[in-house]
C-alpha cells in the first residue's frame, strides 16, 4: 500500500505534512516528501488528505476475557469488588463454552477499533486466546494465570505445568512471531516464593518473559514489607531472580525511590494503568520519576471490570492529566512522552524491537487517524492535539505487519456481529449459573 499526501508522525513523533509512505509485504520500505519513482510496487494507493499516519498502539496490560465483566462490578471497595463480585463471576466462566475465546475476540475488535495491534494479556483459557489472536492477525503476549496458588504448591502437580509446556511448544513465537508466551506471576501476594522461583526458571528455560502485577495498592505494598523483612515487592521479586528475565510489571503505583533505581538498573518494563488505578482508587504512580530514571514506561488498559474501555488513547489522556494534577506540576508528562509510551515503549515491553515507530525497515504496524475534524483544528503541535483533543474512535484504519485488520467500520478478520452475540450468550450462561 502507498499512503499519499498524508500527515505523518515520524520516528521522533514530529509532525511532517504531505508525506508518502510505502509498505511492501509486512515492512515499511518508503517514507518521503516526494512520490516514489516506482509507485506501482506498493500496490493499492491510499488517499491521505485530511488524515494522519503514525505507529500503531500497544496495550501492555490486559485481561481480554474480562470484556464479559464490563459494567458488572461497579462502585465497590477493592477487596469487595474482587471477592464478592469479580471472582464468583469468573468462577462460572467456562473455556468449553467458549467464554474466554469470545471475550478475547470482542476485546481484540475493540482494540483494533482504537488503533491497538499488540497486547500483553494475563488470564485463563490461554490456548483459546492464542487461537483468537492468530485468527485476528494481532500481536499478543499471552500468559496463563494457573500459577496463582496462594500457598506453596509443586508446579509440576498443577494443570498449568502441562499447559505451559504445550503453549511453549506450539504457540511461542508462532504466526511469524506475532504470538509470544510469557510466564505469569499474578502478584507477590497470590504467588508464594517457590512458585515465583519456578516461574522465573521456566521463563529462562523457554526464552520467555514474565508478566506480573506489582505494588498496585498500598495494602499489597505494605503487607509485602511486613511479610519479607521490610523488602518491597520490587526488592523481593528481584531477590528471587524475577528481574533477571524480561519482565512487564503492571501498575507500580506504590514503588519507592529505591525500587525505581532498581527497576531502571534491571530494565524492568512498567505498564501504567491510570484508568484502573483511579477507578479502583489505588493511587497515582510516580511516573515522571520513573521516566527520569530511565525506566521503560508503557500503557495498559487493564481488564474491563476496572476501566471499562480498551480506548488506550483515553488512558494516555488520563495519565497526563492525573499526573499533572496529582503532582501540582503542569510541566510533567509531555505529549511526546505519552505517545512514546503508547508506541515504541509498548512494543519494546513486548519484546518487539522491529515495530513501534514509523520508519523505513520497521514492520508496518500503522494507524490512520482522521484529523479533518472540528476538535483537531487548528494544529500547532500534532502530538498535543492527539493526546488532548483526538478520540480513540478517530482511528480510520489499523494495520498490523502490513495487513489491514480494520478500516472504516469494517473488521477484516473478525465477525463482529457474531463476537457480540457470543459475548451476550456467554454472559447469559454465566449469570444463570450464578443464580442457580
Ligand atoms: Zn491486571
Same domain, yes or no, for 286 and 378? no
Same domain, yes or no, for 366 and 295? no
400 CA from centroid of ligand 1 (Å): 25
Same domain, yes or no, for 378 and 397? yes
Same domain, yes or no, for 71 and 196? yes
Residue 331 belongs to a domain: yes
What is the SS3 assignment for 225?
A: helix
Q: Give the confidence band of 78 by pLDDT, cuts at 50, 70, 90.
A: confident
Cβ neighbour number for residue 39 with a 10 Å cutoff: 14
Cα distances from 250 to residues 14, 16, 68, 96, 278, in angstroms, run: 29, 34, 21, 29, 14
25 CA from centroid of ligand 1 (Å): 35
63 CA from centroid of ligand 1 (Å): 7
pLDDT at residue 79 in the model: 80
Same domain, yes or no, for 101 and 236? yes
Taking only the tens place, the pLDDT of each residue in 337-361 is 999 999 999 999 999 999 999 999 9
Mean pLDDT of 19-44: 97
- Cα–Cα dist 164/330, whole Å: 46
Q: Give the confidence band of 82 by pLDDT, cuts at 50, 70, 90.
A: confident
Q: Which of 297, 322, 349 is the last residue of a domain?
A: 349
Residue 103 belongs to a domain: yes
- Cα–Cα dist 379/387, whole Å: 12
Taking only the tens place, the pLDDT of each residue in 231-286 is 999 999 999 999 999 999 999 999 999 999 999 999 999 999 999 999 999 999 99
30 CA from centroid of ligand 1 (Å): 38
Same domain, yes or no, for 26 and 130? no
How many domains are there within the chain?
A: 2
Q: Which of 349, 364, 391 is the last residue of a domain?
A: 349
84 CA from centroid of ligand 1 (Å): 17
Residue 418 belongs to a domain: no
C-alpha cell at 257: 525511590
pLDDT at residue 436 in the model: 87
pLDDT at residue 13 in the model: 97
Same domain, yes or no, for 240 and 274? yes
Mean pLDDT of 21-50: 97
106 CA from centroid of ligand 1 (Å): 18
Residue 423 belongs to a domain: no
Residue 282 belongs to a domain: yes
Same domain, yes or no, for 91 and 113? yes
Same domain, yes or no, for 112 and 174? yes
CATH number at 246 reads: 3.20.20.140
Same domain, yes or no, for 188 and 89? yes
Cβ neighbour number for residue 373 with a 10 Å cutoff: 14
CATH number at 31 reads: 2.30.40.10
Taking only the tens place, the pLDDT of each residue in 3-27 is 999 999 999 999 999 999 999 999 9
182 CA from centroid of ligand 1 (Å): 15
Residue 123 belongs to a domain: yes
Residue 425 belongs to a domain: no
Same domain, yes or no, for 222 and 362? no
Same domain, yes or no, for 26 and 153? no
What is the SS3 assignment for 319?
A: helix
pLDDT for residue 305 is more than 90: yes
218 CA from centroid of ligand 1 (Å): 15
Domain span holding position 143:
57-349
Render 4-37 in DSSP notation, one character per residue.
Answer: EEEEEE-TTS-EEEEEEEEEETTEEEEEESS--S
- Cα–Cα dist 410/188, whole Å: 42
388 CA from centroid of ligand 1 (Å): 25
Q: Which of 349, 374, 401 is the last residue of a domain?
A: 349
Phi-psi domain of 285 (left: phi exceeds 0; alpha: psi -120 through 50; beta: other): beta
Mean pLDDT of 162-174: 98
Q: Please state the φ and ψ torsions of residue 329, each to the nearest 5 degrees.
A: -145, 105
Residue 174 belongs to a domain: yes
Amino acid at each position: 500500500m502507498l499512503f499519499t499526501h498524508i500527515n505523518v508522525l515520524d520516528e521522533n513523533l514530529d509532525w511532517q505534512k504531505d508525506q508518502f509512505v510505502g509498505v511492501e509485504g509486512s515492512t515499511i520500505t518508503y517514507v518521503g516528501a516526494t512520490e516514489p519513482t516506482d509507485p506501482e510496487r506498493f500496490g493499492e494507493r491510499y488517499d491521505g488528505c485530511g488524515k494522519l499516519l503514525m505507529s500503531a498502539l500497544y496495550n501492555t496490560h490486559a485481561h481480554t476475557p474480562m470484556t464479559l465483566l464490563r459494567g458488572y462490578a461497579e462502585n465497590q471497595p477493592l477487596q469487595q469488588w474482587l471477592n464478592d463480585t469479580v471472582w464468583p463471576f469468573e468462577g462460572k466462566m467456562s473455556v468449553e463454552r467458549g467464554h474466554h475465546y469470545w471475550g478475547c475476540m470482542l476485546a481484540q475488535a475493540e482494540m483494533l477499533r482504537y488503533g491497538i495491534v499488540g497486547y500483553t494479556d494475563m488470564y485463563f483459557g490461554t490456548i483459546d486466546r492464542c487461537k483468537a489472536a492468530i485468527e485476528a492477525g494481532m500481536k499478543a503476549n499471552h500468559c496463563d494465570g494457573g500459577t496463582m496458588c496462594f500457598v506453596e504448591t509443586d508446579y509440576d502437580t498443577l494443570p498449568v505445568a502441562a499447559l505451559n509446556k504445550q503453549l511453549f511448544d506450539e504457540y511461542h513465537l508462532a504466526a511469524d512471531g506475532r504470538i509470544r508466551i510469557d510466564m505469569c506471576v499474578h502478584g507477590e501476594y497470590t504467588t508464594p516464593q517457590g512458585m515465583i522461583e519456578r516461574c522465573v526458571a521456566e521463563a529462562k528455560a523457554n526464552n520467555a518473559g514474565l508478566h506480573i502485577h506489582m505494588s498496585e495498592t498500598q495494602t499489597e505494598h505494605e503487607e509485602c514489607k511486613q511479610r519479607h523483612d521490610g523488602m518491597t515487592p520490587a526488592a523481593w521479586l528481584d531477590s528471587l531472580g524475577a528481574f533477571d528475565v524480561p519482565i512487564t510489571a503492571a501498575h507500580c503505583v506504590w514503588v519507592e525511590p529505591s525500587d525505581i533505581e532498581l527497576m531502571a538498573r534491571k530494565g524492568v518494563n512498567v505498564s501504567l494503568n491510570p484508568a484502573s488505578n483511579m477507578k479502583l482508587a489505588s493511587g497515582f504512580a510516580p511516573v515522571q520519576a520513573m521516566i527520569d530514571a530511565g525506566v521503560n514506561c508503557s500503557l495498559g488498559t487493564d481488564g474491563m471490570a476496572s476501566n471499562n474501555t480498551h480506548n488506550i488513547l483515553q488512558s494516555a489522556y488520563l495519565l497526563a492529566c492525573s499526573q499533572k494534577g496529582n503532582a501540582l506540576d503542569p510541566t510533567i508528562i509531555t505529549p511526546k512522552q505519552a505517545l512514546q509510551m503508547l508506541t515504541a515503549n509498548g512494543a519494546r515491553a513486548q519484546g518487539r524491537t522491529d515495530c513501534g515507530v514509523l520508519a523505513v525497515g520497521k514492520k508496518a504496524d500503522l494507524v490512520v487517524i482522521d484529523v479533518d475534524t472540528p476538535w483537531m483544528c487548528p494544529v500547532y503541535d500534532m502530538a498535543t492535539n492527539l493526546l488532548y483533543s483526538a478520540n480513540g474512535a478517530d482511528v480510520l484504519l489499523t494495520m498490523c505487519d502490513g495487513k489491514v485488520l480494520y478500516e472504516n467500520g469494517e473488521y477484516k478478520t473478525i465477525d463482529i456481529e457474531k463476537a457480540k452475540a457470543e459475548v451476550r450468550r456467554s454472559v447469559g450462561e454465566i449469570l444463570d449459573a450464578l443464580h442457580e
